[in-house]
Amino acid sequence: MPTSQMVRANSVARALNVVGDRWSLLILSEAFMGTRRFTDWRDRIGIASNVLTDRLKRLVAAGCLTPVTRDGGARSSEYRLTQMGRDLYPTALMVWRFARNWSANRAHTSTLTHLDCGQEMVPQLICRACGKEVRAHEVRYEDGPGAGLTSKAPPRHSRRASAPTEGGGSQTLFGEAVDLIGDRWTQLVLASFFMGIRRHDDIVREWKIATNILADRLKRLLESGVVQRRLYQQGPDRFEYVLTPKGLDLYPLVASLLAWGDRWLAEKAGPPMLLYHKPCGHRLEMAVVCDRCGGDLDPHNVKYEVRLLGEGRRRAAAKAESPAVVTARPAARTRAAPDRT
């Protein structure tokens, strides 16, 4: 294969080839809250039946979902998460965390309760070795045993989903964050920034991304407040893109997706990249835990609740420095942890 069609092996890119679109993320979001039936997915996330059929087939083929068979071997309209699919739960929690911190929607807020300790909590990405929260600037990268070139993945979808016209998601586990991160190219561009690749031409070379697609994604990230431009050369002026505090807050999401890709999608040689936690010096093994008790989290010990706010409370919430101070709730929609069956 020509070198022009090759890119550096990267576990984030491999993961995004599986789950890097808005509808797949929303399907998984509902699956983590116990949704199993075709009609329930269709009604809850507002997805067209033909699109839902396509995404379910892809998630089954990838190994994230499995169809349920009835007695006698007949296939039903139900699907369940496989272990591969369940292992995406830490990434799902990091999407929720980002949405909680940055969502502009004040019509409702949502909470997670860790059933093991009984407390409302915010999931936290930590280093297993030292227990400290993982931050982007405290991680060092080096080539792993699976480093090298690999074929560029073909495009999975012909266009970027447009959130205002495609239903869905504001009251799911992912909230409005899915409208920002539910696109493969957008997430690859974000991954570039965390790898120290900040300039337009370097991003094009890294992912073999078309310049018009990159321009569109950079424009969207700028408008969303995730990155800002910084002048690095004059005559002619040239700019690089640097992450804002909002952009840096996406690191736990990208890091957890990389860990999932390493576990499930690495080739026989091993992961393409090794991560080391600078504060303790150990190779980074990540975990997503409860910030109150430090316990591990899974779909069965976390309760998700949406709290709908009245008009007066919305105004109060808009003035609050943190959504955590908004506790009044005239109405609520609760999604308890799903059964283990």
pLDDT digits (tens, 9 = 90+) for 26-58: 999 999 999 999 999 999 999 999 999 999 999
Q: Which of 146, 148, 149 is nearest to 274 (CA)?
A: 146
Per-domain boundaries in the chain: 3-290
Count Cβ atoms below 10 Å from residue 268 Cβ, excluding itself: 6
Span 83-91, average pLDDT:
98
pTM, rounded to two decimals: 0.85
Confidence of residue 90 (pLDDT cuts 50, 70, 90): very high
Count Cβ atoms below 10 Å from residue 289 Cβ, excluding itself: 21
Which residues on neighbouring strands pair with residue 153, listed in sequence order?
none
Higher per-residue pLDDT: 314 or 282: 282
For 133-153, the pLDDT digits (tens) are: 999 999 999 999 999 988 876
Vertex 51: Cα angle to 49 and 54 (nearest 5)? 110
For 224-269, the pLDDT digits (tens) are: 999 999 999 998 999 999 999 999 999 999 999 999 999 999 999 9
Question: Is the Cβ–Cβ distance between 335 and 305 less than 8 Å?
Answer: yes
Question: Please, is 274 exposed, middle or buried when counting C-beta atoms within 10 Å of its C-beta (0-12, 13-18, 19+)?
Answer: middle
Which residues on neighbouring strands pair with residue 288, listed in sequence order?
125
Q: Which of 308, 299, 297 is nearest to 334 (CA)?
A: 308
Q: Which of 337, 333, 328 is nearest to 305 (CA)?
A: 333
Strands 108-114 and 238-243: unpaired
Confidence of residue 331 (pLDDT cuts 50, 70, 90): very low
Span 273-290, average pLDDT:
98
Give me the CATH code for the 3-290 domain, please: 1.10.10.10
pLDDT at residue number 76:
74
pLDDT at residue number 75:
67
Q: Which of 66, 64, 61, 89 is nearest to 79 (CA)?
A: 66
For 293-328, the pLDDT digits (tens) are: 999 999 999 999 987 765 444 433 333 333 332 222
pLDDT at residue number 19:
95
Decide if pLDDT at 70 tops 90. Answer: no
Decide if pLDDT at 74 tops 90. Answer: no
| Percent of residues, the chain, with pLDDT higher than 90 | 71
